[in-house]
């Protein structure tokens, strides 16, 4: 991936170079057009001035005097009589006051188009073409193009034509364009250096932010507090939000690891003691060791479930009827309840549809029933009710156990938190798993003590179509 600095520098350099070329081209075309307009105006003005100075009855000597003034070194002005050139006069002190004069010319024609006097440059390849109409036009002569203006003076019946060579116009345009181009070529490297410096200065906050992030390890989770431009404020906020979530996750993992180690240490220590006693000949220790293994197995199973939930396992959410699922789980736990003389019943609707993951729903209901049966004393009652109230699907589990102290109702769903009879075997993870699964299914979990004793756990989902009463 190319760096932003290199991309911006290269792109802006190309943009500046392209803009310079475009400006120079446009300047050349505009200058050429404007110069042509200006020179056209000068040609017409010169023709008017010349026409104003021509006398109606000017003698041939007057035209010879004009020709003498129009002579240039190597290029003589010529008078014409009846369309034929007179022998050239002595050029005398013919000179140019400027070398560009060779590209300017003037000529006089009779009313019938025969030449009367042609200035220097318009006699080199025969006589210059006569005018045909007043106005501006381009005329090819001697391999060159001339921009000419023709004017007819009715007083003296004379055509007057002034002209300028195309090369003069092009050269003037090139000089003006070059005069603009040189300063721009000098300024372009300076602009590129200024652009590179500006880009480097503008991207410095990104480098500073990157260095702050790169210089940390997994234990340095303080928020990034840097003065960044407005465009990077969203990125900084997102990084800080990620740090907050990472900090929460690591803290939860550390707490979970510590709690799990503590919870596993107790049954392992008891299991070791019971095995030692069994080896010493105490027969009842094997049954106690078996009970310890069962508890340890349940803790491990619950920990695996929590690990799966914490990792955000993929879900397959769909509309399901939870009544058959409830019956299946009740049938599975029925032998355990019967062995303890407990009553386990299902009441309410025979069809209750919700949108959830079937596997997660099974884990959730099983943990609710397991928790209720575990803390309900022998001969007690556990009731699971399915209902639909106020457009909500309800699953309610009621037991006749000891309940939960009111002060612990909001904390009993924490991991490894056990607030009921501590003589009952358990991991303290059942309700924690129920809470996690309820959050994943957008369900509302409510715990309340019953009168005179027992606990009521309610799960509420937005009801799906198709529920009907028993």
In 3D, which of 391, 386, 317, 394 has the Cα closest to residue 351?
386
Angstrom CA distances, 30 to 39, 152, 293, 329, stand at 14, 32, 96, 90
* pLDDT at residue 194, as a whole number: 85
Other CB atoms closer than 10 Å to residue 246's CB: what's the count? 12
Residue 30 to residue 234: CA distance in whole angstroms: 48
Other CB atoms closer than 10 Å to residue 101's CB: what's the count? 17
* pLDDT at residue 405, as a whole number: 82
Residues with Cβ within 8 Å of residue 105, at least 6 apart in sequence: 118, 119, 120, 121, 122, 128, 146, 162, 163, 164
* pLDDT at residue 399, as a whole number: 92
Kindly report the CATH class assigned to 230-310.
mainly alpha
Query: What are 16-63's pLDDT values in tens digits?
Result: 888 888 887 887 788 777 888 888 898 899 888 888 888 777 787 788
Residue 146 to residue 83: CA distance in whole angstroms: 22
In 3D, which of 171, 147, 165 has the Cα closest to residue 44?
147
Query: What are 285-305's pLDDT values in tens digits?
Result: 777 777 667 666 656 665 666
Other CB atoms closer than 10 Å to residue 325's CB: what's the count? 18
H-helix segments, 72-165? none
Please state the pTM of the whole predicted model.
0.44
For the packed helices 230-279 and 284-310, what is the interaxial angle rounded to 10 degrees? 170
Q: Which contacts qualify for 442-450: CB closer than 8 Å, 24 or more apart?
A: 443/356, 445/413, 447/404, 447/409, 447/412, 447/413, 448/409, 449/403, 449/404, 449/406, 449/409, 450/398, 450/400, 450/403
Name the DSSP class of 380: -
User: In a 3-state reduction of DSSP, which class is residue 218?
Assistant: coil
Q: How confident is the prediction along the chain (470 residues), in pLDDT tens digits per residue?
A: 567 777 788 888 888 888 888 887 887 788 777 888 888 898 899 888 888 888 777 787 788 888 888 888 878 888 888 878 887 666 566 677 777 788 899 999 999 899 999 988 898 888 899 998 999 999 999 889 999 999 999 888 899 999 999 888 888 878 877 777 788 778 878 888 888 888 887 777 777 777 777 766 666 677 777 777 777 778 778 888 888 888 777 776 776 666 566 556 656 766 777 788 777 777 777 777 776 676 666 566 656 666 665 555 556 778 889 999 999 889 888 888 898 999 999 999 999 998 888 878 888 888 888 888 888 999 999 999 999 888 889 999 999 988 888 877 766 776 655 554 444 555 556 677 778 788 877 888 888 898 888 899 999 988 654 445 44
Sheet of 444-449, strands arranged across? 343-348, 381-389, 392-399, 455-462, 444-449
* pLDDT at residue 15, as a whole number: 87
Taking domain 6-174, whether its CATH number is 3.30.450 is answered by yes
Select from 3.20.20.60, 3.30.565.10, 3.20.20.70, 3.40.50.300 the CATH code of 318-462: 3.30.565.10
How is the chain split into domains, by residue range?
6-174, 230-310, 318-462
* pLDDT at residue 213, as a whole number: 72
């Amino acid at each position: 991936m190319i760096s932003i600095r290199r991309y911006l520098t290269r792109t802006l350099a190309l943009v500046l170079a392209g803009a310079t070329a475009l400006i120079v081209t446009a300047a050349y075309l505009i200058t050429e057009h404007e110069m042509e307009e200006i020179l056209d105006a000068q040609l017409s003005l010169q023709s008017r001035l010349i026409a104003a100075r021509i006398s109606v009855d000017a003698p041939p000597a007057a035209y010879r005097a004009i020709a003498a003034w129009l002579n240039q070194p190597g290029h003589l002005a010529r008078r014409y009589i009846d369309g034929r050139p007179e022998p050239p006069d002595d050029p005398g002190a013919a000179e140019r006051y400027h070398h560009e004069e060779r590209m300017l010319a003037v000529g006089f024609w009779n009313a019938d188009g025969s030449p009367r006097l042609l200035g220097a440059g318009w006699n080199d390849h025969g006589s210059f073409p006569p005018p045909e109409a007043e106005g501006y036009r381009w005329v090819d002569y001697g391999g060159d193009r001339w921009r000419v203006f023709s004017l007819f003076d009715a007083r003296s019946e004379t055509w007057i034509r002034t002209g300028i060579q195309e090369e003069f116009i092009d050269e003037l345009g090139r000089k003006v364009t070059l005069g603009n181009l040189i300063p721009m070529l000098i300024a372009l490297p300076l602009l590129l250096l200024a652009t590179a410096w500006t880009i480097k200065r503008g991207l410095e906050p990104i480098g500073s932010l990157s260095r702050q992030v790169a210089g940390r390890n997994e234990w340095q989770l303080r928020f990034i507090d840097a003065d960044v431009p407005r465009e990077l404020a969203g990125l900084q906020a997102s990084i800080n939000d990620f740090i907050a979530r990472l900090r929460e996750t690591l803290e939860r993992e550390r707490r979970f690891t510590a709690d799990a180690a503590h919870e596993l240490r107790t049954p392992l220590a008891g299991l070791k003691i019971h095995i030692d006693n069994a080896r010493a000949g105490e027969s009842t220790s094997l049954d106690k060791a078996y009970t310890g293994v069962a508890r340890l197995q349940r803790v491990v199973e619950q920990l695996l479930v929590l690990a799966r939930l914490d990792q955000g396992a993929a879900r397959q959410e769909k509309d399901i009827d939870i009544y058959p699922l409830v019956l299946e789980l009740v049938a599975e736990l029925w032998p355990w309840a019967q062995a303890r003389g407990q009553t386990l019943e299902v009441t309410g609707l025979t069809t209750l549809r919700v949108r959830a993951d079937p596997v997660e729903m099974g884990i959730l209901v099983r943990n609710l029933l397991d928790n209720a049966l575990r803390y309900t004393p022998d001969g007690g009652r556990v009731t699971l009710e399915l209902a639909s109230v106020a457009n909500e699907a309800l699953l309610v589990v009621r037991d006749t156990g000891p309940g939960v102290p009111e002060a612990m109702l909001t904390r009993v769903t924490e991991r490894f938190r056990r607030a009921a009879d501590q003589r009952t075997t358990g991991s303290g993870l059942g309700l924690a798993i129920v809470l996690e699964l309820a959050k994943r299914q957008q369900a509302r979990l409510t715990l309340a003590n019953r009168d005179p004793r027992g606990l009521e756990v309610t799960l509420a989902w937005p009801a799906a179509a198709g529920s009907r009463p028993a």
